[in-house]
Amino acid sequence: MPVWDITFQFVLLGSVLIGCTSGVLGTFAVLRKRSLLGDALAHAALPGVALAFMLTQSKALPVLLAGATMSGVVGVLLIQVIVNQTRIKADAALGIVLSVFFGGGIVLLTHIQQSAVGNQSGLDKFLFGQAASIVASDLYAMSVMVVVVLVLVGLFFKEFSALIFDPGFLESIGFAPRWVDLLLMSLIVLTVMVGLQAVGVILVAAMLITPAVSARFWTNHLLKMVFISALIGGLSGATGAWISALAPRIPTGPVMVLVATGIFVISAFLAPQRGLIARWRRLRANHWRENTQHFLRACVELQEQVRQEMKEIALTELAQVMYEPLYRVRRLAKYLVKNRQIEISGDTIQLTEKGYRDGVFVLKSHRLWEYYLVYRSILEEDHVDRSADEVEHILTPEIIERLESILVEEHIDVENVSSIHATESGFRKAGQDG
């Protein structure tokens, strides 16, 4: 289908509108932990579509969307009543509304199909979506709803933000969180209604959730997340319409969802801070940092035993002290050579001045934390070593300075701290204390 074809332009614009709006409202739904609300409302809208047709005998989109909207609002209110007036949790209330309304909608659609007034074609598109049927009047109706949604989101952005992160603050400045929440859910209703024709009841929740979850990987800032989610939703809509135009037998709605899912997978892996690859790199870096600090600490402790600062140490001796296999200790030694913290000669190593200084800091952090735990009566002496093993890697010079000031008040010589439990340092595996 050529890009100048008017039908393609209607489908493209409609899909972009649906994607952008779903992305914006989906952000608030996800952060409000109402991810499945869109799914429940989409299913709740189905009987409204059927009733609107039965009462008016019209298949005009504004009429059907009006019925769907009213039915969706009833669904929202019913969910609120169930949650507020009973002991049923929100997820169970969503499930009840979803199943009951959808069942009622299927019954009504079946009745319409069997009645004398007409066939069901034109109504079943709300089940699975049919973006190709969008015409100019449909696009105008969708545009009006999108404008209403986006204007209200802009006007109440601060209130929605407070509702998500601090409902108590929202109430303290004179807003009722319940009514703000109801307004937010009403806007989600309108967003779901916008997407029904193109994506359908079954998949509209995916367009509400997936762009927002994808955007969450890229930022921790709410406003940026809203824009990124809208961008992902719009891009999914445009790409879905384009692919569907290239392969006319492929429906637009499901392709939109698949494109959004593809963006989610890319975001989950490649996002610079929260992506899986970034997380793996951080964990790997932390693992190397902890192991190299254990290495340096073990070297300093071994030198303490013979009261010699620059003693040559055998790798086999280090492996025995650290409870690590020799091949792993060799690998750590090669890494520390690159950092100029040790010098290696055959099977022995020697700390450089930098390595000795770093090792002394780690050992001091370990022992100061042990003293703090004991003198604050947090742990007994024979249980502090494991905790210090874990904490020593995150203690900064500022924290050490604060620890020293606390321990000085306890009349402890912080410049000459020793192992408080009078045993060799453990470097123990998790779960081995003492």
Q: Which CATH architecture has domain 6-272?
A: Orthogonal Bundle (1.10)
Q: What is the pTM of this model?
A: 0.75
Query: How high is the pLDDT of residue 63?
Result: 81
Both tokens of residue 88? 């049923």
pLDDT band at 428 (very low <50, low <70, confident <90, very high): very low
Average pLDDT for 265-280:
92
Is pLDDT of 288 > 90? no
Taking the alpha carbons at both ends of the chain, their separation in whole angstroms is: 74
What does the alpha-carbon distance between residue 328 and residue 187 come to, in Å, rounded to a whole number?
Answer: 58
For residues 384 and 181, which has the higher predicted lDDT (pLDDT)?
A: 181
Both tokens of residue 424? 């060799």
For the stretch 178-231, pLDDT in tens is 888 888 888 888 888 777 766 776 677 788 889 999 999 999 899 999 999 999
CA 114, chain centre distance (Å): 46
Q: Lowest-pLDDT range, 184-193, 198-207, 279-288, 363-372?
A: 198-207
Query: How high is the pLDDT of residue 124?
Result: 63
Query: How high is the pLDDT of residue 215?
Result: 94
CATH of 281-416, one of 1.20.1440.230, 1.10.10.10, 3.30.200.20, 3.40.718.10: 1.10.10.10
The answer to whether 268 and 276 are in contact (CB under 8 A) is yes
CATH 1.10.3470.10 domain extents, the chain: 6-272
Is pLDDT of 56 > 80? yes
pLDDT band at 379 (very low <50, low <70, confident <90, very high): low
pLDDT band at 125 (very low <50, low <70, confident <90, very high): low
DSSP assignment of 332-381 equals HHHHHHHTTSEEEETTEEEE-HHHHHHHHHHHHHHHHHHHHHHHTTSS-G
266-279-256 Cα angle (round to 5): 15
Query: How high is the pLDDT of residue 372?
Result: 78
Is pLDDT of 81 > 70? yes
Query: How high is the pLDDT of residue 130?
Result: 66
CATH 1.10.10.10 domain extents, the chain: 281-416
- What share of the chain has pLDDT > 90, as a percent? 15
For the stretch 299-337, pLDDT in tens is 888 887 766 666 788 888 888 888 888 888 899 999 899
224-227-228 Cα angle (round to 5): 85
Query: How high is the pLDDT of residue 175?
Result: 84
Query: How high is the pLDDT of residue 119?
Result: 55
Q: Lowest-pLDDT range, 156-160, 171-175, 326-330?
A: 171-175
